[in-house]
Amino acid sequence: YTMLEGTPPFQGPNTTSTYNNIIRCEYHSSSRINYSAQILIMSSLQLNPKLRPTIYEIKNFEFLISKDIIPEPPQFDFGNAKRMSSIRKGRLAIAVRPTNPFDPNELDSKDFPKSCFFKIAKCLINIKKWPESEFGEFLSEASSMKPLDWVNSWMDFSNSYGFAYTLSSSDYGIIFNDETRMLLQNKEQYVHYVHSDGSDIICRKSSIPGTLNKKLKILMHCGKYMKESLIQAHERNAPEMAADEEKPIVEVFKWTKGETEMVMLLTNGSIQVNFSSDHTKLILCGCTKTVTIIESANYMKTLKLDNLQRLGASILLKQKLSVVLKYVTSFLSE
């Protein structure tokens, strides 16, 4: 955490503040921290020591076995006081800048999740040249690669609060009209709040700062409404997480509406497009290069984009993926 952020996790402006942060296990995590690093940090800094991973388990975390890890230390001049000062302040890049932005093994961690949308765009860029074949969809199925999280239901409260949504994991969140975000996760035990400048805070719901109480009440009100009033997109078939397994933070960070579609970008590198014309939902994941299609509450299939490029897709699927490409390209150009 200290190497990634530049300061110790519980450090406060004074000794009392630091002590209280340690007792409550409160720390801030900026958006520049890699997705896999967040999982390692959240798992290791749990309040209950019994829930923390063992040394053996830590060695197997994605952050420590990822190909993105630099194979050898960079050659810094550690005698240079200016350079050391930059390291302490966390401004020195710790990852190798990619030579090719589409190479999944060379992407800078600060580019995530945008790097995943680049991969999606690369897969779809020549979609007009794909063969037209429904049989290609059949051969491209990858049932073992279904997404872990997607938007199950949503509600546009932007005339008063913002955009609220429920994930397939039962976590739910809201993007407020002031461009801040809040997520209730892990059976409503933890709150993740993101300020408009991108800085964030993770804490237990019971110890949320008083300044956020009003927003928490709004989020819980929206969550209750969606649970009681809206139809869920699909029942999650993925196995439940063990009690001692830390959940990664997945939330919607951007949304927009088209004439016949609702578009949502997720922090796990996925884009979800809901089509109102036939109630079909497409979830494209750049990390796995897959598209998941949900056509009804009981029908869901995941296809490999690489295979669709070679083997073909139906005219209807190609039309929908072209719509997705339009929004991905628009997001990347911002």
* Domain ranges (residues) in the chain: 1-64, 108-148+250-333, 156-234
Report the amino acid identity of residue 319: Q
CATH class of the domain comprising 1-64? mainly alpha
CA distances for 59 relative to 64, 107, 142, angstroms: 6, 22, 29
Report, as an integer, the average pLDDT of 41-51: 82
Euclidean distance between CA atoms 252 and 244, whole angstroms:
25
pLDDT given for residue 281 in this prediction = 95
Model confidence over 63-104: pLDDT tens digits? 888 765 555 554 544 444 443 344 333 433 333 333 333 343
Q: Which residues pair with 190 in a beta bridge?
A: 185, 204
pLDDT given for residue 187 in this prediction = 85
Euclidean distance between CA atoms 258 and 264, whole angstroms:
11
- Which tokens go with 81? 């006081």
State whether the Cα torsion 214-219-224-226 is positive or negative. Answer: positive
Model confidence over 153-169: pLDDT tens digits? 999 998 999 999 999 98
Question: Looking at per-residue confidence, does 103 or 144 come out higher?
Answer: 144
* Identical fold, 1-64 and 156-234: no
Question: Looking at per-residue confidence, does 15 or 271 come out higher?
Answer: 271
Q: How confident is the model at residue 283 (pLDDT cuts 50, 70, 90)?
A: very high
Cβ 117 vs Cβ 104: under 8 Å: no
pLDDT given for residue 176 in this prediction = 97
SS3 278: coil
Q: Which residues pair with 300 in a beta bridge?
A: 294
Model confidence over 304-319: pLDDT tens digits? 998 998 889 999 999 9
pLDDT at 246 > cutoff 60:
no
Model confidence over 55-64: pLDDT tens digits? 888 888 888 8
pLDDT given for residue 73 in this prediction = 54
How far, in whole angstroms, is CA 9 from its chain's centroid? 22
Superfamily of domain 156-234: POLO box domain (3.30.1120.30)
- Which tokens go with 109? 């961690």
Question: Looking at per-residue confidence, does 228 or 135 come out higher?
Answer: 228
Terminal Cα distance for the chain, rounded: 30
Give the least confident one: 25-34, 105-114, 255-264, 278-287. 105-114
- Average pLDDT value for the chain: 80
CATH class of the domain comprising 108-148+250-333? alpha beta
Residue with tokens 């040249």: 129
